[in-house]
Amino acid sequence: MPVSVAPHSLGSILSDQFLAEVRGLKHKNVAAELLEKLLKDELKVRSKRNLVQSQVFSEKLKKTLNAYHNRAISTMEVIEELIKLAKNLDAATKRGEDMGLTDDEIAFYDALASNDSAKQAMGDAKLKVIAAELISQVKKSVTIDWTLRESARAKIKVMVKRILNRHGYPPDLQEEAVKTVLAQAELLCAEWV
Share of the chain above pLDDT 90, in %: 41
Q: What is the DSSP string of 45-96?
A: HHTTT-HHHHHHHHHHHHHHHHHHHTTSS-HHHHHHHHHHHHHHHHHHHHHH
C-alpha 15/C-alpha 142 separation (Å) is 40
Buried b (16+ CB within 10 A) or exposed e, 165-178: eeeebeeebbeebb
Ranges under pLDDT 50 in the chain: 1-8
- Return the pLDDT at 65: 96
Question: Cα 155 to chain center, whole Å?
Answer: 26
141: left (phi over 0), alpha (psi -120 to 50) or beta: alpha
- Return the pLDDT at 6: 42
C-alpha 50/C-alpha 106 separation (Å) is 8
- Return the pLDDT at 144: 62
- Return the pLDDT at 115: 82
Domain boundaries, the chain: 10-98, 103-192
- In whole angstroms, how far apart are CA 27 and each of 33, 38, 77, 137, 175? 10, 17, 14, 52, 49
- Beta carbons of 181 and 112 less than 8 angstroms apart: yes
Q: What is the pLDDT of residues 100-148, one digit of tens each?
A: 998 889 999 999 998 888 888 888 899 999 999 998 988 887 766 676 6
